Amino acid sequence: IRQLIVYFAADLGMRQTAQMLSMLRILFTGFLWLCIKAVPLCAQARITIESISLEHGLSDRFARTIFRDKQGFLWIGTRNGLIRYDGYNMYSYNSQLPPPYHISADDVHWISQTKSGKIVVGFGSPAVAFDLLDPTTGQSDSMRPPPQSQWEQLLASKNGSLFFTASRQQRYSLYRYDEASAKLIHLIHLPHYYQRDDAKLADSQGRIWMVWRQPGGELGLDRYDHNGKKIETDVYNTVIL
């Protein structure tokens, strides 16, 4: 009886081992098939990198900013003007060229786009001037800062809303550009603790987010709505952080 038990146990173990080997064989075959099928997909996912240089029409070796407009064109800001690249050709804009390739200055730091498709071009950092460029006609109009003020920064949201910060006698204000009337709308005087270099952005819903820091060490985040109304303020203790 003992020998029979040992025989059946051995036979059962061999069967289980054979079944396991069979399952492993099936799994390995399936994995190998998936790898073979994935090879063409990997080949299709390869990225082609194209180099663009001065020989292709760039006006400077150093690009300060790059912006892609709604039509897919690339706008490149340099120290020597603005470049529009359509994937085949480059078109230069600077202060020395006549219309439709004329802009107010050459040191381009800011590029964005309005809801109607006009290209916003900002010069200098902090900004000293802004142009509104119509890419279809080449018409360029200069945007002047508020009286006795100077431009600081452009905040552009993905929905086409444009906000500007401007300074006057060490006080900073927030403006929104109204494209229908082609006018700047003063929204608010920013708090006294606001500094030029504090981080800020406009989100896709046209809200403004501003980081500020006070001399005492407090770090805060203010959020404003489209009309400049403060929605929320979060204060953080940098000593704890």
Of 34, 26, 28, 96, whose CA–CA distance to 59 is shortest?
Answer: 96
pLDDT exceeds cutoff 70 at 28: no
Q: Tokens 């060229």 belong to which residue?
A: 97
Residue 118 has pLDDT above 90, yes or no: yes
As to burial, measured by CB atoms within 10 angstroms (0-12 exposed, 13-18 middle, 19+ buried), residue 223 is middle
Angle at 133 between CA 225 and CA 62, to 5 degrees: 90
**H or E element in which residue 31 lies:** helix 2-44
Q: Is the dihedral of CA 49, 55, 57, 59 positive or negative?
A: positive
| pTM of the model as a whole | 0.70
Residue 46 pLDDT greater than 80, yes or no: no
The torsion of the CA quartet 17, 18, 20, 23, rounded to 10 degrees, works out to 180
* Bond preceding residue 98 cis, omega within 30 of 0: no
Summarised one tens digit per residue, pLDDT across range 119-137 is 999 998 778 889 999 999 9
Nearest to 90 by CA among 72, 76, 104: 76
Instruction: Using the structure block, give the residue that is written with the tokens 């444009």.
Output: 162
Rounded to an integer, what distance in angstroms lies between the CA atom of residue 173 and that of residue 218? 22
Q: How far is Cα 86 from Cα 108, in angstroms, rounded to an integer? A: 19
Residue 2: pLDDT band by 50, 70, 90 thresholds?
very low
Residue environment code for 194-208, b if the CB has 16+ CB neighbours within 10 A, otherwise e: beeebebebeeebbb
185 in Cβ contact with 238 (< 8 Å): no
Residue 163's nearest CA partner among 196, 198, 208 is 208
**pLDDT tens digits, one per residue of 183-241:** 889 998 888 878 777 778 888 888 888 888 776 667 888 888 888 888 877 776 554 44
Q: Check residue 79 and report its DSSP letter.
A: T
